[in-house]
Structure 1
């Protein structure tokens, strides 16, 4: 297998604070490097991540920081000579970064959108925070966090030459199943988002109010100070990835909550879904199209629309049924949705993009002559 030299410009690899990108990139790139590829990660140096770094010296890639678009040009030769350059969503000055990479790189340039439904909603509003429509046709591959009909939309409406699903995943070595004493009946791990909050209210806060004898926890940063949490809901501001498995293991069940744009698009699993399942923690989730293609409802995951759906599970399911749900979900994730599976998929799509470029180059030279 040919070794690829890949440069990634992503939101963050060094800090998992307030974002799910870091753990996604860590799992994917570790597995990609294990396939004997060379990886360089370039991260914009910003104060809110600099003060919360939990991975400063990765052993699977080289990590370096740049302070501005002008400073990024120090890496011109690296970008120019790479076999593939991957630009991620929510990169600061992402449009300018993408344009610079497309003009500089001499091989494959790809976009990895870990926020596809949010990105498309932004494009519809004319909000080009990190991606503009004019850049999409010039990305050889559009790797999308979202599968299903969204891939056809990216190619038909926005001119992507190759939109490919690249779901989040989990590194099973980093997310083992642990035996811990249960502390909470239902947990939720996620950064505050206004469009997730109504679902969190319905599927965790309301059950907590109705069942004061049960124990709940919400972990994650940026929740407004004026939220009135019930007394039986514990709050934890931040849990580093290394402590996620223990957090899940102390939960009888954990809740998966999806952003509104992701629900509308469907086929948009969050990284937390894979991580919790890999830990063998039974998952109660909100409902969206495509979830059944990842985990089978009532066998590998519980789907809930109302607070009473949650309380029925918490209050009536025996332990053996709960444990079986978690075990089956763990088996499914390890069989189909690990970082190794995603790395193999990305490798295949990058090689196909390289092949298309080589096929097009002789034609381009003929036209020029």
Structure 2
């Protein structure tokens, strides 16, 4: 199938947490024979901070951050069998949705792909006349990268015909064990941008344990933390490019996953960082959220903390041998059950079934 995918960015992970997800899914879909064109706007300095070149497994179209360029890019949806508008594109999202779906051929599948369902659903509930909410009944389906039954039920209640989670996963070609790198040597590392929906949880799960464990070394990576008050044993290294994620994950004794508040409350929403860390064979400590055992088994494959005290106690008692065993078990699990090849195979079947049903419906109507 020819897929026109309108998202935030495929070529840059700069202020773009969905990049790893997009890359893994689209590369795996391409391996199944789908032809994907990814349309991304030139906004937020992402093109100045590219971390991959346009890949050979997708055609990338970068359009200027203007309404005229948006409309020109949206018009190309007419050539696709599947038209995808993702959440959080970052420039005129409502207009882009309208233009893309208007351009799509009648027989094409129309999909909204939500990479931040808790935030999107909160926005829709607060605005009964929201353009996306009005558009939902006309779309063939909503895909989400997490959320489970609560998100599925919420979208169906708002008028979506179908809502299907396609969870984050591992791309073993890009995230895998590497040699440790002394730049990232520490006892606990955390990688995540400073966001309002995450900052209080970073204080609880990372900064407070660091202040308690003065004899341990902590490292925080990601954009926006430069002026944050931290104890002397925390090193802020700023933005970490994708090419360094494997080394960042494998070098510390353990790495920490901290969900944004809305993701933790919704549950069944593992961040890409969970699979990146597991794919590198890292020992992962994660904050608690509903649905963890669906992805990794607490104890043997991942350590779970309900608050900062738990993090401090886990880290204080964690030996290097146990950390290594947990990381190896996590790697084995994600390679077995949670690769993007697995996710793409499932989505491939969903798209083919939906396409067949839509063609038959069109033939009957004619």
Scaled by the length of structure 1, the TM-score of the pair is 0.92
Instruction: Describe how 1:41-60 pairs up with structure 2 within 5 A.
Output: 41-60=38-57
d(CA) in 1 for partners of 2:40, 2:55: 13
Residues 229/39 of structure 1: CA separation in 2 closer, same or farther (3 Å cut): same
Q: CA deviation at 1:121?
A: 1.1
What is the distance in 2 between the residues matched to 1:318 and 1:53? 38
Query: How far off is 1:120 after superposition?
Result: 0.5
What residue is the counterpart of 2:83 in the other structure? Answer: 85
CA RMSD of aligned residues (A): 1.8
Separation in 2, partners of 1:47, 1:116: 22
Distance 1:76 1:245 in 2: 36
Instruction: For residue 102 of structure 1, report the CA deviation from its aligned partner.
Output: 1.5
Tell me the distance in 1 between the aligned counterparts of 2:34 and 2:277.
28
Does the 8 Å CA contact 1:150/1:265 hold for their aligned counterparts?
A: yes
- Offset at 1:155? 4.6
1:228 aligns with 229
What residue in structure 2 maps to residue 207 of structure 1?
209
After TM superposition, give the deviation of residue 152 of structure 1 in Å.
3.4
Would the aligned equivalents of 1:95 and 1:128 in 2 still touch at CA under 8 Å? no
Query: What's 1:70 paired with?
Result: 68
Tell me the TM-score normalized by structure 2: 0.93
Judged with a 3 Å threshold, the aligned counterparts in structure 2 of structure 1 residues 79 and 299 are, in CA distance, closer, same or farther, namely same
Q: CA deviation at 1:127?
A: 9.1
The answer on whether the counterparts of 2:51 and 2:243 sit within 8 Å (CA) in structure 1 is no
Tell me the secondary structure at the aligned position of residue 40 of structure 1.
Answer: strand
Contact 2:198 / 2:258 at 8 angstroms: preserved in 1? yes
User: Are residue 162 (structure 1) and residue 131 (structure 2) matched?
Assistant: no
Deviation of 1:95 after TM superposition, in Å, equals 1.6
2:364 match:
363
Greater CA drift, 176-185 or 38-47:
176-185
Aligned pairs (5 A) from 1:155-304: 155-180=155-180, 183-223=185-225, 225=227, 227-304=228-305
Counterpart Cα distance in 1 of 2:318 and 2:253: 11
Gaps of 5+ in 2: none
Shift of 1:74: 3.0
Superposition deviation, residue 128 in structure 1: 8.3
Given that 1:278 and 1:333 are in contact with CA atoms closer than 8 Å, whether structure 2 keeps it comes out as: yes
1:36 corresponds, among 27, 33, 36, to: 33
- Paired with 2:205 and 2:99, the residues of 1 have a C-alpha distance of 44
- Rate the CA distance shift 1:118–1:299 in 2: closer, same or farther, 3 A: same
Instruction: State the distance in 1 between where 2:141 and 2:132 align.
Output: 15
Q: CA deviation at 1:272?
A: 0.5
| Count of residue pairs brought into register by the alignment | 360
Change (3 A) 1:128 1:248: farther
Deviation at 1:175, TM superposition (A): 0.9
What is the CA-CA distance between 1:319 and the residue it aligns to?
2.4
- 1-side partners of 2:199 and 2:296: how far apart? 24
- Does the 8 Å CA contact 1:117/1:146 hold for their aligned counterparts? no
Q: Check whether the contact 1:18–1:222 (CA below 8 A) recurs between aligned residues.
A: no
Query: What CA deviation, in whole Å up to 9, does each residue of 1:38-58 have, x standing for no partner?
Result: 111111111521221222321
Gaps of 5+ in 1: none
Q: CA deviation at 1:172?
A: 0.9
Asked whether 1:105 is paired with 2:96, we answer no
Q: 1:127 to 1:215 in 2, by over 3 A?
A: farther
The separation in 2 between residues aligned to 1:215 and 1:10, in whole angstroms, is 37
SS of 1:184's equivalent in the other structure is coil
SS of the residue corresponding to residue 16 of structure 2 reads coil
Give the corresponding residue for 1:141. Answer: 141
Q: Which stretch shifts more, 148-157 or 246-255?
A: 148-157
